[in-house]
Structure 1
Amino acid sequence: MAYNNNRGGGGGFGPRQMFKGDWKCSNCGTDIKELPFQPSGDRPIYCRECHSKMRPPRQSRY
């Protein structure tokens, strides 16, 4: 079985649909022009940098 490392959406589901718009990061106020989901308006959205800072560190698999 070959490993596919194309980073096109993970899990073998193909590329993700991206939603274009004019949003601001709820943490730092950076402009966000594209998201991999349609924001609902009732939850905060974060830029890539703030989102990566807020995520817990990944556990090693080995």
Structure 2
Amino acid sequence: MDNGQQYAPRKMVQGNWTCSNCGNQITELPFEPDTNRPVYCRDCHRNNRRSGPPRS
């Protein structure tokens, strides 16, 4: 479904991080990670969002 909105492509941050859940290596993220917060790979992030509480 095309609602006519165009979005600019995300700028990806290149680096080397380890997924806080499964230990897989992550080489790019759509944000600059905060060292005080966990970083998740795409699969773990998707699974965490599905199993989390509903967003309000």
TM-score (norm 1): 0.70
Among 28, 33, 38, the residue aligned to 1:39: 33
* Gap runs ≥5 in structure 2: 52-56
Aligned length: 51
Q: Distance in 1 between matches of 2:34 and 2:44?
A: 19
**Aligned-residue offset at 1:56:** 2.9
Higher helix content, 1 or 2: 2
Structure possessing the higher relative contact order (Cα contacts under 8 Å, 6 or more residues apart): 2
| Equivalent residue, structure 2, for 1:53 | 47
TM-score (norm 2): 0.77
Identity of matched residues, %: 48
Greater C-alpha Rg: 1
**Aligned-residue offset at 1:40:** 1.3
Q: Does 2:41 correspond to 1:27?
A: no
Question: Structure 1 residue runs of 4+, over 4 Å off?
Answer: none
Q: Secondary structure at the match of 1:55?
A: helix
